[in-house]
Structure 1
């Protein structure tokens, strides 16, 4: 009985293991151990990414934002809603940076209803500016998970088979008010290859857990604002493609921004808009049907041609060919043949561990290694030591 009581609380065992992992250095300080824990937490995001798998590069993602009464809670400062909007703004910029040929849309749910805030598009400014207006909206009653999924389904079901269809739900409420059988909606999402993921702000909800399991999504409940941001940023990387996704050649057009000085015209993507947005002289003109658009990437509504820019397409390849994992070595094991300065920032290597590129054998600090793996996707050491090609006649 005493042994069972000792094992009754799992946090006690975790506490003991944590205490054993903390060790003092020669000066009696714990700073080195704390730094090591922080370093490993920072690198966990891109070390856990899958390798040698087929990825959904052309993503179509709907963010479903809960705007029910529960979002007025102040466990996240100043409120759940304000903190969530701030983090989503950062997520949108990172999403388009990592997925330049993908599209994103936003859906809000409150008062047992769902409303499409922005449709699928490739302009991050439009999403962010529209999202900022939600800070002044009143949070009402309960959300409706089923109505939100049905609204996202009306747009995602028409996406091409080779595209990745995703839904990311940010749920602050522990309840959902649905008009019909939500289990049928979950089966419909699965049959349409729509991957649904949920980030919970309060506690785990069973129906959300089932939604993620059936559609092969992920489910996470936040611990604090830092953990909240980590869960969000995990969705910036393209997910593995489903087994049922099609493999086909994609016909694309690469329009340039042109200005027609003869007469202004409205773009096709703003034909239904009641404002003057999209009306002007310049725009992107489809090379196949000459329809005008104000943003890229987009699928032409007249001829169905996928319109992208060449730099966007080129920047999407780094997910398919990621850099090799850098080797973590101790600074004490470095001999005289290695530099004592970081190859990227030229700063003095003062930490306990540094990172060695397996190709060029150059040494980098933690911050530069993370920037190379997450943003640059190209090793500066390899680029500077690449041998020049000599043209021979």
Structure 2
């Protein structure tokens, strides 16, 4: 316990500078440079915390456990905790599947001392968002049950193959939990099964949540406001370091072709497998879609797991987006602005006095501004300068192949 307390610094102790000490005036009495430096440090913090050389899991399986108890109706987050959580979860799910297209998410809600699975593990973001929107009209009563929720998630995660990562993200606003048994045994089971459990607290830090995250290798945080809440969620977009017991395996996948309108039997008017059991969409007959290369069943979107034969169906761009985490863009070198560079290579923004620091790619020898540097490493995952230079691109590809 002493080691855990030493690692964390609280706001009311020495971990944060006072605002009036951090902001200083320049020789002209302006605060512009000081404010710009604070913004720069905040934007660069996430990049500096990333560690390279770690083994990451490409096929992630995450269960999101959402507290829907009475405490989630508190108004300390606008408009309430639950509505703020639902809105941020919608944005998180869309961004998560864009960055991890061959991963899967499931959603579990807990209230009235029970746990309910409202969405199974699937790679379809539309289904999750639909369930979250429907959740806004439900009632939020009683106490949550953390143990029941974890046990429900473990039933599905235990059945996953050994090459898949297993994760749980708990969003809890209550300070109590009503559990039927010893939650310590559940935590040990998660550790044995290699399940990584992280917690986002909306009220305060709970000892059991902190211990659970520490034992399973997850992260624990308590939100300060809605913006900090979004940052805590975004920490789970990038894949965490894989467990040592994660096995390497060949995964069979199918790359279906898109069936256009045709008079052939295999592309005739039919309901796709995605909506075969949905009565509301059963009248939507399609003559286009993606045909599974193994059983020729039709699906309306990718990626998806074929409901007929169980084959994972993806496209080449989906696989490429999942692959970039294994070979991230090399961190740019931070240099002082001396007036030699006039424009950012990417956005062509003219450097000014506010740009105290620039970012230099040692491969292509181009200079970037702070916003483009963050965009390259967090969203684009490819240096524009290296991509437009054939010699640099070939050299970088050879280095990746050697690794």
TM value normalised by structure 2: 0.87
Partner secondary structure for residue 62 of structure 2: strand
Superposed, 1:95-134 pairs within 5 Å as 95-134=96-135
Partner residue of 2:364 out of 360, 363, 366:
360
Counterpart in the other structure of 2:345: 343
2:68 — aligned with what? Answer: 67
Alpha-carbon spacing, 1:168–1:206, altered in 2? closer, same or farther (3 Å):
same
- Which residue number corresponds to residue 4 of structure 1? none
Q: Which residue of 1 aligns with 2:384?
A: 380
Matched, 1:318 2:324: yes
Distance 1:145 1:274 in 2: 34
Structure-2 change in CA distance of 1:133 and 1:252 (3 Å) = same
- Alpha carbons of 1:388 and 1:367: their partners in 2 closer, same or farther (altered >3 Å)? closer
Aligned residue runs from structure 1 range 9-88, under 5 A: 11=12, 13=14, 20-88=21-89
- When structure 1 is superposed on structure 2, of 130-139 and 102-111 the one drifting more is 130-139
Deviation of 1:18 after TM superposition, in Å, equals 6.0
Q: Distance in 1 between matches of 2:392 and 2:361?
A: 20
Inter-partner Cα distance in structure 1 for 2:133 and 2:285:
26
| Partner residue, 1:369 | 373
State whether residues 65 and 107 of structure 2, in contact with CA within 8 Å, keep that contact through their aligned partners in structure 1: yes
Residues in 1 aligned to 2:54 and 2:130: alpha-carbon distance in whole angstroms = 36
Change (3 A) 1:255 1:79: same
Question: Alpha-carbon deviation of 1:301?
Answer: 4.7
- TM-fit CA distance, 1:297: 2.6
Shift, 1:355, TM fit: 1.3
1:186-220 Cα distance to aligned partner (Å, 9 max, x none): 22222221111000001111111121122111111
SS, match of residue 169 in structure 2: strand
2:314 counterpart residue number: 308
| SS of residue matched to 2:236 | helix
1:310-348 Cα offsets, whole Å, 9 max, x none, are 1100111211111111112221x343xxx3111111111
Distance of 2:314 and 2:50 partners within structure 1: 27
Q: Distance in 2 between matches of 1:111 and 1:169?
A: 17
Q: Structure 1 pair 147/293, CA: closer, same or farther in 2 (3 Å)? A: farther
State the 1:16 CA deviation: 6.3
Moved more, 141-150 or 300-309: 300-309
Which residue of structure 1 aligns with residue 3 of structure 2?
none
Aligned twin of 2:4: none
Listed as ranges, the gaps of 5+ residues in structure 2 are 1-9, 261-265, 395-403
Assess if the C-alpha contact under 8 Å between 2:124 and 2:304 holds in 1. Answer: no
The CA distance in 2 between the partners of 1:272 and 1:302, in whole Å, is 13
CA 1:271–1:152 in structure 2 vs 1: closer, same or farther (change >3 Å)? Answer: farther
Residues 91-115 of structure 1: CA deviation (Å, up to 9, x unaligned):
1111011111111121111111111
Residue in structure 1 matched with residue 93 of structure 2 by the alignment: 92
Q: What is the match of residue 6 of structure 1?
A: none
SS at match of 2:358: strand
Task: In structure 1, list runs of 5 or more residues that go unmatched.
Answer: 1-8
- Please state how far the C-alpha of 1:19 moved relative to its aligned partner: 5.2
Contact kept in structure 2, 1:122 and 1:295, CA below 8 Å: no
In 1, are the aligned partners of 2:386 and 2:392 still within 8 Å (CA)? no
1:262 Cα shift? 3.1
- Change in 2 beyond 3 A, CA 1:141/1:359: same
Mapped to 1, the partners of 2:271 and 2:29 lie a distance apart of 72
Structure 2 Cα separation of the partners of residues 304 and 125 of structure 1: 20
Deviation at 1:285, TM superposition (A): 3.0
* Matching residue of 1:199: 200
Q: How many angstroms does 1:149 deviate by? A: 1.1
C-alpha displacement of 1:305: 2.7
CA RMSD of aligned residues (A): 2.4
Moved more, 29-38 or 366-375: 29-38
Taking structure 1 as the reference length, the TM-score comes to: 0.89
